[in-house]
Structure 1
Amino acid sequence: MKLSVFLITLFFLLKIAPVPAQTYMVKKIPGKVMQITGRGDNPAWKKAVNLTDFSYPWEKEKAPATSFSALWDGDWLYCLYQAKDDSVITVINKNDKLEIGACDRVEIFMMRDSTMLPYYYCLEMDATARVLDYRASFYRKMDYSWKWPGDQFIIKTAAVPGGYIVEIAISIQSLTELGLLQNKQLLAGLFRAERKSMKEGTAGLHWISWVKPNSAKPDFHIPSAFGILALE
């Protein structure tokens, strides 16, 4: 019995281990609101650091190329995902946001600290600009009824040869009010779900991440899956 209690305690201690030191620098641009088009063609993006260090944490093969860029202007955080994908799969039946869980998509999760309490916040975005926005509590207690505060989030997407682009803007006000932005740092996980075949269903999803989580099986809902977005 004592051994079982010890193992359970150890498991949860590992799950709430401090976040890794991997850091992405978000360059600051002049305080004029940047127009996003879904194509990532605003000249301001040339100032951003282009992050391409994405991989399959739980597979040996090389992941399809994914890039992430971010900028901020004092009022908005802008993020740009570019995903290489030769078969973009989007499932639309009732057009419910939960359908996005069966689609090719990019994701950003954000947390206040490594306890992931009382909530952490998730945005999962498909190639048609649909958003699965929700909050959750550790461990994997999802609240899908929650929505990102109105007018505080913008998304546009574009289909391009060999893939898709997702461009978003998140207000600094909402990040601050949710307690996510602290000392110009945002604890964030940058992810992608790659679905290779309609036949396999959701079992055919392959998981791509910037940070390699400390988990033997696919799991982005743990602190070790997060890095730091540092605002310049």
Structure 2
Amino acid sequence: MVLAESVVPAKAQTYVVKKIPENVMRLNGKGDNKAWNKAAVLSDFSFPWEKEKAPATSFSALWDGKWLYCLYRVKDDSVITLVKNNNKIEVGASDRVEIFMARDSALNPYYCLEMDAKGRVLDYRAFFYRKMDYAWQWPAKQLVIKTSAVKNGYIVELAISIKSLTGLGLLKNRRMLAGLFRAECKNIKEGKAGLHWISWIKPDAPRPDFHIPSAFGELALE
């Protein structure tokens, strides 16, 4: 079934999320569950606003009827994680992977999960254009995040309940608008992070911006 044109941006790229039986996935942050072998590996990540080649990033996803599982593998020779007061805003000054999810291309609202190498999450609701509500939190007990450090990088596994995706109006006819991103932190000086932006899709913007409809693709659940 195809969504209405107003829901999915024109020429949106699609990632197909394969279905697995219930109770076979166990997250440990290592991405070594055998079920991951069934997932398509998305590795088309790039620097949309820089000429150099981006460090490797891959994304995989599966679902079992109750949970959507996502796996990020990140190559990074200098993982930076800001820990001062250990609040969620510090994730925004750290190396991290991100998934943005929207009801439709109007982005009113859309929901963001930004996860660092320590498994902390910057979760927030936003409205176009860039009106962020950082006090908002993902529904309780409907999100699980596990991470691990590996040689030259880190791994992030997460599980998002189908209940929460449906309740927020994000999942319709087994399809969902989603942006898949990564922030690579080069340094932190005077409390400000030097960030380089990596994306699955090249947004239609002259300067770094993931908070626009053209930054979103589509996840299609089998």
Structure 1 range deviating more: 32-41 or 100-109: 32-41
* Residue 40 of structure 2 corresponds to residue 49 of structure 1: yes
Q: Which runs of 4+ in 1 moved over 6 A?
A: none
Q: State the shift of 1:32 in Å.
A: 2.0
Contact kept in structure 2, 1:19 and 1:227, CA below 8 Å: no
**Structure that is richer in helix per residue:** 1
* Residue 201 of structure 2 corresponds to residue 211 of structure 1: yes
CA distance in 2, matches of 1:17, 1:112: 9
Equivalent in the alignment of 1:184:
174
Q: Secondary structure at the match of 1:182?
A: coil
CA distance in 1, matches of 2:17, 2:147: 21
Letter in 1 for 2:140: G
- Identity over aligned residues, as a percent? 71
Normalised by the length of structure 1, the TM-score is 0.90
CA distance in 2, matches of 1:202, 1:183: 41
Equivalent in the alignment of 1:88:
79
Change (3 A) 1:19 1:165: farther
CA distance in 2, matches of 1:43, 1:226: 29
Report the structure number with the largest CA radius of gyration.
Answer: 1
Equivalent in the alignment of 2:105:
114
* Residue 181 of structure 2 corresponds to residue 197 of structure 1: no
Contact kept in structure 2, 1:100 and 1:130, CA below 8 Å: yes
Gaps of 5+ in 1: 1-15
Q: State the shift of 1:99 in Å.
A: 0.7
Equivalent in the alignment of 1:11:
none
Cα RMSD after superposing both structures: 1.5
Letter in 1 for 2:137: K
Contact kept in structure 2, 1:149 and 1:174, CA below 8 Å: yes
Normalised by the length of structure 2, the TM-score is 0.94
Q: Secondary structure at the match of 1:204?
A: strand
Q: Secondary structure at the match of 1:155?
A: strand
* Counterpart mapping for 1:75-154 below 5 A: 75-117=66-108, 119-154=109-144
* Counterpart mapping for 1:55-66 below 5 A: 55-66=46-57
Equivalent in the alignment of 1:67:
58
Q: Secondary structure at the match of 2:16?
A: strand
